Chain A
Amino acid sequence: MTTSTMAEAPSVTQVGMGQAAVAQNPKRLSAVLGSCVGVTLFHPRLQLGALSHVVLPESHGKVGAGAKFADSAVPHMLALLEKHGAFPTGMVAKIMGGSCMFGNGGPLQIGEANIKAVTLALEAAGIRIVGRDLGGSCGRRIHFDAATGMVTVESAGLPPRTI
């Protein structure tokens, strides 16, 4: 799974399904979420953060799974941030997405499973979750600002909100 680090020319980097990216002030990261869950980790002192676009809950031990799975995404993000000098102490997380886009959800209630798995993975890593915008049946467009750690969430028919 591809991982991009440190956004370059454009000030906003789109983070695709299964990807993770790191950004430092003044860069921003963005993703469009449905049943996927977006996880941000932010180091306030360094104004450095990461966004993962998690697709599925469990990697079942798959090597090199990167940000595709909840249980591999959190350690993957921590490793990326560590390369940029950021360690977990003082780091905070926000989680967004995990919608059920198809009425009753069909055979895979994947949004709900993703939320649970991401929450467990963050707890296991000892990272405090300080913001949530989860569930429901609408998609979300999110923008993470590496200067502040704030995440702007947009959904169809609703005013943007910031967490």
Chain B
Amino acid sequence: MTSLECPEKQRLDILRELLASATHDASAAMCRWTDGLITLSLDEGREIPLEDVTAELNLGDELLTMIVLSMESDIGGEMILTFDELNGRQLAASLLGRPVGNDPRWSELEKSALTETGNILGCAYVNAITRLIDHELVPSAPYFIQDFGASVLQQALAAQALTSDQVLICRTGFHKQGAELNWHVLFVPTAALRQSMENALHR
């Protein structure tokens, strides 16, 4: 059976299987980076009508701290690590071995700590997907953004929106010693990357 013949639910189940495997690798990298403190799990991988994305992901109009990595390859995609202000500050402080500061501005060191987290996480995730689909994905240098979550996600979704009114978004959650944190990774593959992932699991 080819992916085109699969019912939609089955196609999504297949993608979730692959993404769960990549999340497992990213979780191991994150666990090492944070001395065993933080782990990840795949919360959801689903298709959402374009007009409902903001509401469904509860991105609303809050300002978020984000680290963005783009896949610099022919099949593309974006990975966005999101934190609310408090959680972002706490992670940076924990990595730097300092208490959370009072300065509302982010220092270069704090930005660097989060950017490096995005790099480690993103590379583990992308390497796992590269292995699984047998097609090289090269992540861009990560960069730090503070903006509306919906604004950043829009550009990531543009490539999928070219061909469909439904978009596939995968959301990964973070846990600190079992407790859920308000951090997420949003993985937005292009249609071409999605097709490569589906094909890989049919080989």
Chain A residues with CB under 8 Å of chain B are 1-2, 14, 16-19, 30, 32-36, 55-56, 68, 99-103, 106-108, 110-111, 138-141, 156-157
Contacts and interface: CB of A to CB of B under 8 A. Distances in A.
**A-B complex: 5 closest residue pairs judged by Cβ atoms:** A139-B151, A34-B151, A16-B51, A34-B154, A139-B148
A17 to B, nearest CB: 5
Given A1-B51, A101-B154, A110-B155, 4 more contacts: A33-B154, A35-B155, A68-B165, A139-B147
A100 B165 CA distance: 22
B50 A141 contact: no
Contacts of B50: 1, 16-18, 55, 68
A16 B154 contact: no
Interface residues of B, number: 34
Contacts of A101: 68, 145, 147, 151-152, 154-155
A35 B140 CA distance: 19
A34 B63 contact: no
Given A16-B51, A19-B51, A35-B158, A1 B165 contact: yes
Contact of A32 (B51, B140, B148, B156): B148
10 contacts: A2-B49, A16-B52, A16-B54, A16-B55, A33-B151, A101-B68, A102-B155, A106-B155, A107-B76, A139-B151
A111 B154 CA distance: 10
Nearest to A141: B61
B150 A106 contact: no
Contacts, number: 105
B159 interface: yes
B148 A156 contact: yes
Contact of A156 (B51, B147, B158): B147
A16 B61 contact: no
B188 to A, nearest CB: 12
B193 to A, nearest CB: 12
B153 interface: yes
A156 B61 CA distance: 11
A139 B150 contact: yes
Contacts of B159: 107-108
B55 A34 contact: no
A34 B51 contact: no
Given A55-B158, A139-B151, A156-B146, A17 B54 contact: yes
B150 A18 contact: no
Nearest to B54: A16
Contacts of A2: 49, 51
